[in-house]
Amino acid sequence: METCLVCQEKGELLYARLNDRQRPLSPDRFSLFRCRSPICGSMWLSPRPDAPTLSAAYEDYYTHAEQQGQTNVMGRRVRLRRKVRAAYLSRVWKDPGFRDGLRNLLCSYVPCLLPGKTDYLDFSVMYLSPAEGQRVLDIGCGDGRALEVLRNRGWSVMGIEPDLAAVERAMAKGLAVECRAVEELGVHSGDLDAVTMSHVIEHFEAPESALRTAYKFLRPGGVMVVVTPNAKSLGHTVFGENWMHLDPPRHLQIFSPHALVVMARRVGFSVKRVFTTVRDADIVWVSSTSIRKTGAFDLKQPHSSMSGRCFLIAEAVSKRVRPETGEEIVLIASRERGD
């Protein structure tokens, strides 16, 4: 496939013979094309990997790993962080319990002073305000961490996830999660108030079809939130073929903000907001540096370094000048009322 599925422009070969960075011993090699339209700029693997190749690529994917539990130690620093987080979410995302007063108001603005901090906090609630009893579907929910947060904020939650091990961990938390394709889910048209997809759409062979299914599931006025790697990020500019988010062969399509908006509107969505964030830019730096040096990286290992933090700050500065250069795209769209 050498034609852009978003704008139908001819593609050009961008990178050839890319290896699987999470399985460096695999002999498979992949080619990445980019749309020739500078406005679109989306990228895709061509030819697509076959089913056995994809199956092998997901055998030891990071979603299989047990997630580290949060500490129960309630030191002064931890208590302060939780207070600041609660104050910010209460002010920005209308969480209940925000107390009037100068101290709480000042606490709510502290994350705004730290590069990238608000990106993490906004993502932690999937850009959704609390909603008592409203129904949300998380497509590609992993072990259900996001669903747990949304459930605690009043949402009636459900999820789908292809990794059976992750599904079992989510079910152990009492979450309604199924191991099946989105098209096979027993949800009727107009049943849902929100659909979320975090780092999922880039894995789909037919991403537009996934958006159409989400559109069908949503009631009029329902909200869809999509988070995905950004083809025009500073990380891609700096690292090129070593950029972590290329992730062949699992990432079949990598969008630009413009391309994602075009596809969402073609499905029928009304786009409310599209922007980029610097969340996990530090991880991108460490992992992409590893790829440049060794040809491999492992997302199941911790990724933290001073150089990674510096890159996150640099990207936050870059985004002030060029808003499209963050590592992730966030698209918030809705199904029009009365459609």
Orientation angle between helical segments 306-321 and 281-294, nearest 10 degrees:
120
| pLDDT above 60 for 139 | yes
Q: Extract the runs of DSSP E, i.e. beta strands, from 230-284.
A: 253-254, 270-277
Q: What is the pLDDT of residues 22-39, one digit of tens each?
A: 998 899 999 999 999 989
Cα–Cα dist 237/240, whole Å: 6
| pLDDT above 60 for 69 | no
Cα–Cα dist 146/144, whole Å: 6
Orientation angle between helical segments 102-109 and 76-92, nearest 10 degrees:
90
Indicate the pTM of the whole model. Answer: 0.93
Q: What is the pLDDT of residues 224-283, one digit of tens each?
A: 999 999 999 999 999 999 999 999 999 999 999 999 999 999 999 999 999 999 999 999
Give Cα 74 to chain centroid, integer Å.
Answer: 30
Q: What is the pLDDT of residues 283-301, one digit of tens each?
A: 999 999 999 999 998 776 6
Burial of 220 (0-12, 13-18, 19+ CB in 10 A): exposed
Q: What is the pLDDT of residues 92-113, one digit of tens each?
A: 998 776 666 788 889 999 999 9
Tokens of 274: 């599209």
Which pLDDT belongs to residue 60? 73
Cα–Cα dist 237/247, whole Å: 16
The band of 68, judged by pLDDT with boundaries at 50, 70 and 90, is low
Q: What is the pLDDT of residues 197-215, one digit of tens each?
A: 999 999 999 999 999 999 9
Q: What is the DSSP track for 114-136?
A: STTHHHHHHHHTTT----TT-EE
Phi, psi of 124 (to 5 degrees): -60, -25
Give Cα 48 to chain centroid, integer Å.
Answer: 22
CA angle 292, 294, 298 (to 5 degrees): 95
Tokens of 101: 């007063």
Which pLDDT belongs to residue 67? 57
Average pLDDT, the chain: 91
Tokens of 102: 């100068």
> Stretch 181-186: mean pLDDT, rounded?
77
Which pLDDT belongs to residue 292? 96
> Stretch 143-157: mean pLDDT, rounded?
95
